[in-house]
Amino acid sequence: MRDVTGILIAGVGGQGIILAGKLAAQAAILGGMDVKTSEIHGMAQRGGSVVTHVRFGPKVFAPVIDSGGADFLLAFEKLEGLRNLKFLRPGGTVILNDQVIEPLPVLLGKATYPADVVEQIGARFPLLVINALAEAEGCGDTRTANVVLLGALAHRLPFPRSVWEEALRAVVPARFLELNRRAFARGFEIAASKQPRLRQK
Amino acid sequence: MKLLSGNEAIARGAWEAGVKVATAYPGTPSTEILENIARHYPEIYVEWAPNEKVALEVGIGASLGGARTLVVMKHVGVNVAADPLVTLAYTGVNAGLVLVSADDPGMHSSQNEQDNRFYARFAQIPLFEPADSREAKDFLRIAFEVSEAFDIPVMLRTSTRVAHSKSLVREEEPVTPLKRPYQKDFAKYVMVPANARNRHRALEDRREKLRALAEQTPVNRVDEGDRRVGIITSGISYCYVKEVFPWASVLKLGLSHPFPAGLVRTFAGRVENLFVVEELEPFLEEQVAAAGIAVRGKDLIPRTGELTPAVIARALQQDPSVAAVAREHGTAFPTEPEDQPLPLRPPVLCPGCPHRGLFYVLNKLKLNVMGDIGCYTLGGLPPLSAMDTCICMGAGVGMAHGMAKADPESAAKTVAVIGDSTFVHSGITGLIDIVYNRGVSTVIIADNRTTAMTGHQDHPGTGWTARREPTRALDFVKLARAIGVSRVSVVDPADLAATRRAISRALKAPAPAVVVASRPCVLLARPAPNPVPTDPGACKGCKLCLGLGCPALSLPDKRIEINPHLCVGCGLCTQVCRHGAIGKAGGSDA
């Protein structure tokens, strides 16, 4: 349904995707929306591709996003960004972490990592590329790269900053809150300074 | 309102329903139910049982003892628990007993995608199929009421997209169930043939009463819509149907067994074209058809894998009546874009994983490896490629024995590999069989001191309970000796030479042997990165180290490179390298 917003968060097991999904979902709840999310645990997590689906709107039925059903693709890793591009609707936005994690077939020399990920994505969708690891390091801890990326996504979503602030307080453990606030603010600021070239939803 | 996963909602629902005992064996996608109960609801006694059969038997005892009881397992776990389950339907319960079966359509983390709704029909017990977290919690409370009112165990069946999806749930106050002290009842609880015959008749009687309930319960309901298209559905499929055909008439079955034939007949009579949309097997469809009602379903909808809204849309679009009505309603039928050929990212053993050394040695020894279920099943993937089979929990032990009986000469080059938790689950009886029946097989217990695959649950070998109370740990060496295995050795799989020696020695002797390859899962300690030093100048680019399949190691430009963020300094590559290009990690005792 068109009044439902879909966010697909994709990356590699261990990158903090589940927390980013939680924060987006929490913000949507605080924004008064119905929300459903879906993720996969178990064998898929051991260094494999991981995706979290987040959908919000006045009423949400399916917890999963179909091909062509996502408004946003938040990609934590470049190859995973490319892999999940089919989930985006035409005109959907990609926020891409400029990070490469080579999968085992590439490490073994059995497959080649695509060389032109940014160009391939940028040719088809509005794209915002962020070096989230470096930005997170600047905020004090590389482990907040996920929240930097989420902050960038937040800039494109229809919720006020106060809602995100409350979502961070609700989801992030108190001792990491300040650090994550900084990371979030940094991501938000980057997105604000770089409007994608194509028209936004 | 709170955003909860299906599993979190079931844990909450158990507490609200006044559950006093919860038992389980971990298995994706069910595991977080017991974990959440253990974490949040101290009023409930929880335990990880050694396997699902024991979990259910403990549950039966608790029910007879007067406690509302939740028993949790993944779909294939119900195979293990089927023996007590089917007879429990005869005896019935005392306090309510609900069995959660978490199915895994699409096999995200399973060896098959069996449809456990058939178990409810097979055992003749009521079946609830929640579509989201709110229903998971609400249905659980109803399930306990039904269990007590109809004196029967109840199955609550979820699937991965219910268990691991989150939706909004209203938390409620817990109820206090009536006290139900244990009362001896020979005719009800002792299933000798004379009693069982009576109880089977009583079960038939209960099933018909439950069918009457299914006809009028509000959890089976109609969403009025365009009467030209009527869809019967249940579980997660309901959410997908509403997503693509919000205009259709829908009969949603929350209590889907016993089959409410009257309700279905009434619905069918009011719609022009009838469809059943369900994941996996035509469980409902065949019962609709058997009632003499014209229906379409699996001739359009895939019988394998998960459904999605788009899959359902494309499937039903093949029916001209749906296509025509859908066009009127402006329904879009997206085509599935083709996947771009990209490098796959299969799951891998973690850097520092203790299984890696073991499977590297098994690969080098070129053995037949009768495998089992756990993280170590990844040892079957290239480049380790050292697992020949994976059937079910515990299967490898019996299979190694069977292969040796078929071809005695193969015993010297065949081993069973089984994890510690899996060995306790159902490998012990297989080992007894080897000894009893004069077998000579070698069983390797890949002992990483936890149930790793499902997220590090304790088990009888760890010395800790589900709530981290210290307890007596099962000693694999003593157990194997007590069973009658005289050749038992313990080896550190991070020591490749010693592991190779231990396995070769075990295989050489024409007698049963157990090798415990023991080293804790690397994720238990979560060590900081501790990269091994390298000397790229000494590297000859021979790629021997790549045989380890370690994600921290690669040879860009044909020279060794260690990922400093991933390497924990386990030192396997140091042992494998013949050219001295990889040193030992500093400050590591690995």
pLDDT (tens digit, 9 = 90+) per residue, A79-105?
Answer: 999 999 999 999 999 999 999 999 999
Whether residue A198 lies inside any domain: the answer is no
Over residues B522-576, the pLDDT tens digits come to 999 888 999 999 999 999 999 999 999 999 999 998 999 999 989 999 999 999 9
**B220-328 placed in CATH 3.40.50.300:** no
The pLDDT value recorded for residue A200 is 43
Q: CA of B374: how far to CAs of A107, A184, B274, B392, B520, in Å? A: 24, 37, 43, 10, 14
Whether residue A189 lies inside any domain: the answer is yes
> Helix and strand tally (H, E) in chain B?
22, 20
Mean pLDDT of all residues in B70-83: 98
Whether residue A59 lies inside any domain: the answer is yes
The answer, for A34 touching chain B at a CB cutoff of 8 Å, is yes
Residue A147 has pLDDT above 80, yes or no: yes
Contacts (Cβ under 8 Å, ≥6 apart) of B549: A104, A108, B348, B349, B356, B381, B382, B383, B384
> Is the ipTM of this structure higher than 0.90?
yes
The pLDDT value recorded for residue B69 is 98
The pLDDT value recorded for residue B336 is 82
Residue B54 has pLDDT above 60, yes or no: yes
Cross-chain residue pair A25–B166, CB shorter than 8 Å: yes
Ordered strands of the B414-419 beta sheet: B368-370, B414-419, B442-447, B513-518, B487-491
Mean pLDDT of all residues in B458-474: 98
In whole angstroms, give the CA distance from residue B166 to residue B174: 22
Domain that holds residue A126: 5-193
**Which CATH homologous superfamily contains domain B354-525?**
Thiamin diphosphate (ThDP)-binding fold, Pyr/PP domains (3.40.50.970)
Whether residue A199 lies inside any domain: the answer is no
How many domains does chain A contain in total? Answer: 1
DSSP A102: -
Let me know: does B494 contact B571? Beta carbons within 8 Å: yes
**CATH dotted code for B528-590:** 3.30.70.20
CB pairs under 8 A between A and B: 158
For A40-44, B26-30, B79-83, B237-241, which range has the lowest pLDDT when averaged over its residues?
Answer: A40-44
A82 vs B108, B243, B340: nearest CB? B340
Select from B537, B530, B168 the least CA-distant residue to A55. Answer: B168
Percent of chain A with pLDDT over 90: 88
C-alpha dihedral over B73, B392, B463, B497, to 10 degrees?
Answer: -150
Cross-chain residue pair B378–A103, CB shorter than 8 Å: no
Q: Which chain B residue has the Cα nearest residue A61? A: B239
| Backbone angles phi and psi of B36, in degrees to 5 | -70, -35
Cross-chain residue pair A86–B554, CB shorter than 8 Å: no
Contacts (Cβ under 8 Å, ≥6 apart) of B462: B449, B450, B473
Mean pLDDT of all residues in B446-453: 96
Residue B201 has pLDDT above 60, yes or no: yes
Average pLDDT, chain A: 93
In whole angstroms, give the CA distance from residue A116 to residue A81: 12
Strands in B271-392 per DSSP E: 273-277, 368-370
Which pLDDT band, with edges at 50, 70 and 90, does B193 fall under? Answer: very high
The H or E element spanning position B10 is helix B6-16
| Backbone angles phi and psi of A145, in degrees to 5 | -55, -35
The H or E element spanning position B165 is strand B165-169
Cross-chain residue pair B310–A43, CB shorter than 8 Å: no
Alpha helices by DSSP H, B407-467:
420-426, 428-436
Give me the residues paired with residue B585 across strands.
none
Domains B2-216 and B220-328 share a fold: yes
In whole angstroms, give the CA distance from residue A1 to residue B368: 53
Residue A197 has pLDDT above 60, yes or no: no
Over residues B330-368, the pLDDT tens digits come to 998 878 888 889 999 989 999 999 999 999 999 999 999
Residue B131 has pLDDT above 90, yes or no: yes
Quote helix, strand, coil % in chain B, to nearest 5.
Answer: 40, 15, 40
Average pLDDT, chain B: 97
B348 vs A39, A41, A47: nearest CB? A47
As given in the structure block, the two tokens for residue B187 are 């005719």
The answer, for A12 touching chain B at a CB cutoff of 8 Å, is yes
DSSP B586: T
The H or E element spanning position B77 is helix B75-91
Whether residue A201 lies inside any domain: the answer is no
Let me know: does B532 contact B582? Beta carbons within 8 Å: yes
As given in the structure block, the two tokens for residue B546 are 């790549």
In whole angstroms, give the CA distance from residue B151 to residue B60: 12
For A14-23, B58-67, B270-279, B328-337, which range has the lowest pLDDT when averaged over its residues?
Answer: B328-337
In whole angstroms, give the CA distance from residue B129 to residue B139: 8
Fold of B2-216: Rossmann fold (3.40.50)
Q: Give residue B73's Cα distance to chain centre.
A: 7
Which pLDDT band, with edges at 50, 70 and 90, does A196 fall under? Answer: low
Which pLDDT band, with edges at 50, 70 and 90, does A2 fall under? Answer: low
Whether residue A180 lies inside any domain: the answer is yes
The sign of the CA dihedral B304, B307, B310, B314 is positive
The answer, for A116 touching chain B at a CB cutoff of 8 Å, is no
A112/chain B closest Cα distance in angstroms: 7
At A53, which CATH number? 3.40.920.10
Residue B590 has pLDDT above 60, yes or no: no
Cross-chain residue pair A80–B160, CB shorter than 8 Å: no
Percent of chain B with pLDDT over 90: 96
Q: Give residue B505's Cα distance to chain centre.
A: 35
Chain A residues within an 8 Å CB radius of B382: 108
A63 vs B165, B551, B555: nearest CB? B165
Q: Delimit the domains of chain B by residue range.
A: 2-216, 220-328, 354-525, 528-590
Over residues B421-440, the pLDDT tens digits come to 999 999 999 999 999 999 99
As given in the structure block, the two tokens for residue A187 are 């991501």
The pLDDT value recorded for residue A41 is 67
The pLDDT value recorded for residue B94 is 98
Q: CA of A97: how far to CAs of A77, A146, B210, in Å? A: 6, 9, 55
Select from B527, B419, B439 the least CA-distant residue to B483. Answer: B439
Mean pLDDT of all residues in B242-256: 98
